[in-house]
Structure 1
Amino acid sequence: METAANTLPAEGSLQLRDQLCFALYAASRAVTARYRPLLDELGLTYPQYLVMLVLWERDAVSVRDLGAALQLESSTLSPLLKRLEVNGLVRRERRADDERSVAVRLTGAGVDLRERARAVPLAIGDAMGLTPEQDAAAKQLLRLLTENVTRG
């Protein structure tokens, strides 16, 4: 009979199934793939969707604050913003009080897209099949993992 101790990976194991990094990678790819058809209907890529989530939460965000919220460098964020601007969902404007700072704002079309996007988290939640408690625990563990790894 197998006990919990027998199922734990050996310290220093190089077996793929024992790697937390692979479990995270596979889960991330699977979840992102599940988003794809839903976001295609909205005309967004997954990274663009993340930008829109921040803007739907708090319009008129500086590029610096947007990058901090998404943990993205400016060089990664700029092309995303440019594409969203070309698609008529956001506009970038220099702040009057600080010309070095650029604010990103939703356009009317960007605001309107929010209603269509409401179905996305529900569909993803259904696909994940987690209880509300499991969902909360998973988010808490992943946030802790991110905090621990980025601290070092």
Structure 2
Amino acid sequence: MTAFTCTTDDAGRILLVRHERLGVVRWELPGGHVEPCETAVDAAARETHEETGVHVTVGPLVADCHHRWRDRTVNILYFHATPAGSPHPHPSEPDIHAVRWLAPDLLDPADTSALAWPVIQHLAYDGHRQLHLEATHHRTSAGWEPTITRQRICS
């Protein structure tokens, strides 16, 4: 299981990391693997701080994704969060090229992870209900990239 945050500031901007995964560099939401004996909420907060330097208060679950690839399934949870303390981000891991607060309407979908894009748009424009995603990966000229195969909103 992995847990990510969609952290928004008072101006409605979202905290994003410019991350390299499987040879592809895109804007992504901060997050990562849930450690043994750790809750998904705690993992989302820890991973966000580790990747961005920003402490967050994790709020409600806004989306989940069943990501099937290479004979395994990873459950991904996305939580809304708000900054707690200093909102000045800085990259802290080698695969992270940049950390920024970005307005959702200024993001380019082609430069944003396919797993993050629908979550960001959902939270920005319809975050009251939970978004459910299913995804896999496909090979592109840039490398292995995620593909959303199903998307639905539950009330």
Under a length normalisation based on structure 2, what TM-score does the superposition of the two structures give? 0.22
Under a length normalisation based on structure 1, what TM-score does the superposition of the two structures give? 0.22
Structure showing the higher strand proportion among its residues? 2
Computing the radius of gyration from Cα coordinates, the structure with the larger value is 1
